[in-house]
Structure 1
Amino acid sequence: MTVHRHNNRKSKTGKGPKKPAPDTRLQDLNGKQQQAASWKSAVKGLLRKPVLLAGGALVLLSAAGLGGHYYVESNTVEYYYVYQDGAQLGTVHTPEAVEQLMEEKRKEASAANPGLKMALDAGELSYIKASGFKAKPETDATLDKLEDSITSHAVGVEVRVDGKLIGIAKDQQTADLVLKRVQSKYVPEKKAAANKVEVTALAYSSQPAAAASKTEVAEVAFVEEVELSSTKVSPGRIQDADTLYKRLVTGSAENTVYTVQEGDCIGCIADKFSISPQVIYQNNPWIKDDMIKVGDKLDLTVLEPQITVQTIENVTETETIEPTIIVQKNDEMREGERKTIREGVSGSKKVTYKLVKKNGYLMSEELVDEEIVKPAVPAIIMKGTKVVRGEGTGEFAWPVSGARLTSSYGPRWGRQHKGIDLVGNSSILAADDGVVEFAGTKNGLGKVVFIDHKNGYRTVYAHLDSINVSEGDIVEKGDKLGVMGNTGHSTGTHLHFEIHKDGKVQNPINYL
């Protein structure tokens, strides 16, 4: 029988198997590994010390760099280069220093010239910003240099008339007020606060009117071209409002004496010298009824202001309309007998004249409108059946076709105008039936025709160029008496027309 031995088995005695001896090679290996680990630790320790030293050095260097930067920055100064018209003037801490200097100079200029608008001449100023370490801008020196270069001037408004410099006002408002004052000098005084000016007008009729005359100023304007423009000027050339006003309205006057020539008349001379007939009458008060003769010396001196104000005035008057006469025939009444059946009642009408004046002098007048306010009631007269030729109706027609009134009845240039002046068709017509009382030439009236209307009325047709009737002729209303002319003491080609009633001169407008 085979017997198997188990090494692990216990001995009888109860003791286990004996432990083997340790392996010495393994121990050597473990020792070497421990030595190597200790050496690495030592090396790492030695390497760690230089790194710590270098880091400390870097920290110190960084701290020193930051401190230097802050030092430079805190000592860096900002400043500005100042340029005048592109040329470098100097340096300043800030542009506000320059602006402060400019403001002080403005105040000085204004204080030295109170009431004037002053401006500084300092050229074009510009700035360039700069900076530098511990920089020191030369502000005071730069401002002194700038101050030495600054000058001042006034800003005024030139007043020119047709390009000619009259004066310089301190501002636009002053110039405008002076010009308005000049215009007001020749505008009638206001009676009501309105855009239209109403005043008591000149009396165009010697007879009392039904209501006060009124003048409406339609236009006020300067004849010349007036120009206002801003300008740079020294303060001494600025004029105050009163001085400028006087320069505009005073002007100059040259003595002018004219010798009357053949064919001259007041109106002709006025036209020749472009003046108003009013000037001639004012300067020569010896003239009576427009009568002048060859060789007479006329003073035509007139003040000529620097500027001319033209006004257009519409003068409205209420005129009386004389009643017409209606004639009824009666076979039972003898020739020449008459009987009033109904008294006539006067009416009224508004008559408007257009007056053109220059610097207050009347240059022209024109009848522009008529408006019936109250119609006249005709008188009715009964007459004998035997009609006498040449006896008028008492109702007058215009003696000129297409008539235009150029001079009215009443005061004219300081004298009484006994009729009206008309222009229009050259044929002169009888205003009513009548008998030619005179046809010829009279002093002052030139070639003239008188018509007796055999009813208390008499009409006059003066300054004719030629006459078509003779004394004693019987004419009917509308018959041609002659041709319009400029004979006698006339102011130009026109008809001078008069109406007389019972020997007293009347205003023809009241009958036409």
Structure 2
Amino acid sequence: MKGFKFMRRMSKLQDGHPAESEANVQQSHNFDHDSKHFQQEKGTRRFRRAWILGSVGLVLLATVLVGAEKKYVAANTVTYYQVLVKGEEVGRLTDQTQLNQLYEKKQREYQEKYPNSTMVLQTEGITIEEQKAYKPEVDSEATLTKLDGMLKAYAVGVQLMVDGKAVGIVKDQETANAVLEGVKNHYVPQAEVATTASKLTRTAASSSSAAKAKAPEQVESVEISEDISIVPIKADPNKVLDVEAAVQTLTEGKEAPLLYTVQEGDTISGIAKRFEITQKEIYSNNPNVKELTLKIGDTLKLKVPQPDVTVVTVEKVTEQIVTEPEVVVRSSDQLAAGKSKVVRPGQTGLKEMEYRVTKENGTVVQEEWLGQTVIKASLPEVVYRGTKVVGEGTGMFSWPVSGATLTSSFGERWSRAHKGIDMVSSNRNIKASDAGTVIFAGVQNGYGNVVIVDHRNGYQTYYGHLKSISVSTGQRLEQGGKIGVMGSTGRSTGTHLHFEIRKNGTAVNPMKYLQ
């Protein structure tokens, strides 16, 4: 509008209005000044508006960019699991279940490797923590491989203790119980029972008889002498024993020196057999010992396995013994003095003997005679003799002690050789078992005070370890005549009578003849 007015003024000046034109010129100058100022203000406002709009745009753009960045970062921030061993990072996993799967895998591997043990994986000190980070470096495979090589396991077992001494580790209480039963059964196996029965048969029967022996009728008790305890333990699985190995360890023991005292009836061969060593080893360790000069009470140096446990077994054993027939002597004036004639041969009988045998680790330490039962009575042999002569035996033997109890039987059995039988009684008077003549009355090595009676019919009887002797050499005795008093002289373990019957110089089982 102002521009329009300005144009009209200029038109008037050109049309010849001087005064008005000057005023109009001034007015026009002022107008131009105002117009310029207006234009400047207008530009400023436009700049301001543009600057504001630009600033707002920059703020909006920055806001958009920051939001986009946050979304990008958020989209690339992931959760991982940091694995620590005793506080030190060993790796990272994408999923914590990977660690549990590794545990299960290693547990199976150790259990398969040691099936006789209960294996426990050692995971103490291993921890896992959840973490979050922008594009973290996570190598689960490398972490699991590293952990796989670090994971160890131990066996949970029980320690067998014998009198406080550790002797072996087994899987658990049930296995330990089975081991102890196995150790007990080791000393009463069927094989040993059969062997014992075979020995009894050979001992009891003569070469022409058919006597039979029985296995133990009853195992009265089987006990371990030592104090046994079972203690839970963490163990190296390579040291955990199965039942068979543990039984072998406890029954075989370790080889160690042993001083053995020679007992009645011992021989070098018998001792070697009992301890499962060679005679050569015995002679090597005892250069001054000779078989023929071995004496009761001698000490032998042995090196033998000594088991950690002592199993005491008490068994009842029966054996059948062939009994010799009684000899019935009848006088005949038709026969010369000292001559005899069998008019009716006798027949052997059969009786059953019962013993209670106590063993320690299979070795007999006590033998008790419980009694006998006659299965078949013998048929007496009838003999005619011209004249009965004092000092000549009848062939019928009576017990030399009244009310006797047998404490040790005859023969080589249970790794011992015994030429006679041992007996005890409250009545300690010793009597002649049959009529005869005393051929020795004095002291002999091993026997102590001993009396030997010759019955003039091929038989001799020995009476050993007497406290006192009541006869002298050359004296003739009737059956039942007093010989002496029971004692413990010589190599004796206690008061008892050692009684032998020898036929033609060879020791025979007295139980075949005693009536």
SS in 2 for 1:327: strand
Aligned counterpart for 1:112 among listed residues 110, 113, 120: 110
TM-score when normalising by structure 1: 0.62
C-alpha distance after superposition, 1:235-275 (max 9, x if no partner): 547512255345423433443568xxxxxx7339x9xxxx9
TM-score when normalising by structure 2: 0.62
CA distance, structure 1, for counterparts of residue 195 and residue 502 of structure 2: 36
Report the equivalent of 1:215: 215
Aligned counterpart for 2:379 among listed residues 377, 380, 389: 377
Q: Check the 8 A contact 1:204/1:408 in 2, yes or no.
A: no
Report the equivalent of 1:480: 482
Unaligned runs of 5+ in 1: 1-96, 124-137, 142-146, 259-264
Unaligned runs of 5+ in 2: 1-94, 132-146, 284-288
**Partner amino acid for 1:228?**
I
**Deviation larger for 438-447 or 113-122:** 113-122
Q: Check the 8 A contact 1:406/1:421 in 2, yes or no.
A: yes
Q: Check the 8 A contact 2:487/2:497 in 1, yes or no.
A: yes
Report the equivalent of 1:336: 338
CA distance, structure 1, for counterparts of residue 383 and residue 368 of structure 2: 36
Q: Check the 8 A contact 1:291/1:489 in 2, yes or no.
A: no
CA distance, structure 1, for counterparts of residue 97 and residue 330 of structure 2: 101
Report the equivalent of 1:228: 230
Shift in Å, 1:190: 4.2
Number of matched residues? 380
Report the equivalent of 1:308: 310
Q: Check the 8 A contact 1:281/1:413 in 2, yes or no.
A: no
CA pair 199-450 structure 1, distance change in 2 beyond 3 A:
closer
CA distance, structure 2, for counterparts of residue 398 and residue 486 of structure 1: 19
Aligned counterpart for 2:198 among listed residues 191, 197, 200: 200
Report the equivalent of 2:500: 498
Shift in Å, 1:492: 4.4
Matched, 1:406 2:402: no
Q: Check the 8 A contact 1:448/1:464 in 2, yes or no.
A: yes
Report the equivalent of 2:421: 420
Report the equivalent of 1:33: none
Report the equivalent of 2:167: 166
Q: Check the 8 A contact 1:206/1:410 in 2, yes or no.
A: no
SS in 2 for 1:371: strand
SS in 1 for 2:309: coil
Report the equivalent of 2:250: 248
CA pair 117-415 structure 1, distance change in 2 beyond 3 A:
closer
Shift in Å, 1:110: 4.0
Shift in Å, 1:415: 6.5
Report the equivalent of 1:360: 362
**Deviation larger for 247-256 or 399-408:** 247-256
C-alpha distance after superposition, 1:274-317 (max 9, x if no partner): x99956996746453673399x7621444322112223344432
C-alpha distance after superposition, 1:108-159 (max 9, x if no partner): 4343343232457999xxxxxxxxxxxxxx9956xxxxx9xx9976432332
CA distance, structure 2, for counterparts of residue 255 and residue 152 of structure 1: 40
**Partner amino acid for 2:436?**
G
**Partner amino acid for 1:200?**
S
CA distance, structure 2, for counterparts of residue 234 and residue 484 of structure 1: 60
Report the equivalent of 1:267: 263
**Partner amino acid for 1:405?**
L
**Deviation larger for 323-332 or 484-493:** 484-493
CA distance, structure 2, for counterparts of residue 191 and residue 300 of structure 1: 24
Shift in Å, 1:374: 1.0
Matches within 5 A, 1:402-481: 402-411=403-412, 416-425=417-426, 426-481=428-483
Q: Check the 8 A contact 1:215/1:313 in 2, yes or no.
A: no
